[in-house]
Homo-oligomer: A and B are copies of this chain.
Amino acid sequence: MKVAFTSDNIAGASDSVFKAMMEAAQGDAMPYGNDDGTAQVTRMLSELFECEVDAFLVSTGTAANVLSISALTPPWGSVLCHSESHLLNDECTAPEFYTNGARFVGISGADAKMDPDQLKKLVSQKIGDVHSCQPSVVSLSQVTEVGSVYSLDEIRAISDVAKTAGLPVHMDGARFANALLALGCTPAEMTWKAGVDIVSFGATKNGVMAAEAIVVFKQSLENKGISSEQVAKELGYRRKRGGHLHSKMRLLSSQMIAYLTDDLWRTNATHANAMMALLQEGLKAVPGVKINTPAQANMLFCTLPLPMIDHLQAEGFGFYGGRWEEGVIRLVTSFRTPKEGVEAFIKSARQFATK
């Protein structure tokens, strides 16, 4: 049996998600987020995060990230994120577009996690100098782009720097659930309790077709002297002028409700992470395979001998390679990755290595 580890966005949707979408396609509902489902989503997210939130549904992760940030930075601001972040590497110039031309500044740090010391240095440079962009937002990715996961202490180390500088903190949570399960903590602990003010709460990569929520922790923003009412107002207008206000919003709200019901998000991420653990464990034992960054969630970067890569691809396994250093490949598991597929991949690699 062959399986693809190309990305978690190649998998479709969980059964309960498309059933919910199907039901949402029936009957009438008020458009543009005035449907009952959208209000329910906000309530469910408030419950999930154990605090009052504002929520804005959009259909892509790019939109969730750049809209979130655009509501927090002036056009002369600088947004501090890791130099390997999605924002700087995979969203074309959407970040500049939505912020009307803010600067996105890459911070280095091991395992694609920002180094708090370097961040500290940058947030205090040239403050008030009109010749320089002004630090305005800190954005971190959880899971990171190399598959590592910030510990709660690591998040706090970043958010403490931001707090001291009076800056809001955004979390790109495209793989929020996978990270959360890796840490074994609550959504609140991984976000506002650790100093995060706004999160792109991703669902699309974890069992949903297209639904992401911008979740605003109102009190967190207020604690930094930022009006959450103003942020919410801006997000409303910015979402519309970005063309991201769906008329049949129930398409998004129904998916998100299903995702949040009966802990589907948890079940799905648990499976994806478990498959990755199995995969990583198996690969470690294969001669010639080097684990680059230990996978904590559902994504792994490892280095394989080139002939082994050729062999695996010839066998029909799917994954990305040829984009990074020689021999580096990326493997991603999803809520739907079959255990047999993982085992087949390991077996095939092992056989090739030991033949």
Contacts and interface: CB of A to CB of B under 8 A. Distances in A.
A28 interface: yes
Nearest to A210: B251
A62 B245 contact: yes
A91 interface: yes
Interface string A305-342: 00000000000001000000000000000000000000
Nearest to A61: B247
A349 interface: no
A21 B209 contact: yes
Interface stretch (A6-14, A116-124, A159-167, A262-270): A6-14
Given A75-B96, A92-B133, 10 more contacts: A12-B26, A21-B22, A61-B247, A63-B244, A90-B132, A91-B240, A94-B242, A96-B101, A134-B237, A209-B248
A72 interface: no
The 7 closest A-B pairs by CB, nearest first: A96-B101, A63-B243, A13-B25, A12-B25, A9-B247, A62-B243, A100-B100
B240 A131 contact: yes
A258 B248 CA distance: 18
A10 B25 contact: no
Contacts of A32: 130-131
